[in-house]
Amino acid sequence: TLDRSSAASDVYKRQVLRVLIQKSGEPINKQQILDRIVTDDADINLEAIEVLVHRLRKKLAETGVQITTMRGMGYCLENAVDN
């Protein structure tokens, strides 16, 4: 599960965004994201990744950058103008 504290959520959102930026233009699935951001003591799961991506989409809505879902492949960070 995702820690409900705003500070913890912000940390995870930044980590997910960092992973998406590193793989910009390429799909990355939830498990791969989870593997890259989780430490041994983290209490986060695949459903939490979905929530974090949803929150990031809202924050990125006006930036010209979007997170798209590539069915069966994962998430992809893209420039919205290119689509």
Asked whether the predicted pLDDT for residue 83 surpasses 80, the reply is no
Stated pTM of the model:
0.84
pLDDT: is 65 or 41 the higher one?
Answer: 65
As a whole number of angstroms, the distance between CA 69 and CA 50 comes to: 11
pLDDT in tens, 41-57: 667 899 999 999 999 99
* DSSP code, position 26: S
Three-class secondary structure of residue 76 per DSSP:
strand
Strand extents, DSSP E, the chain: 65-70, 74-79
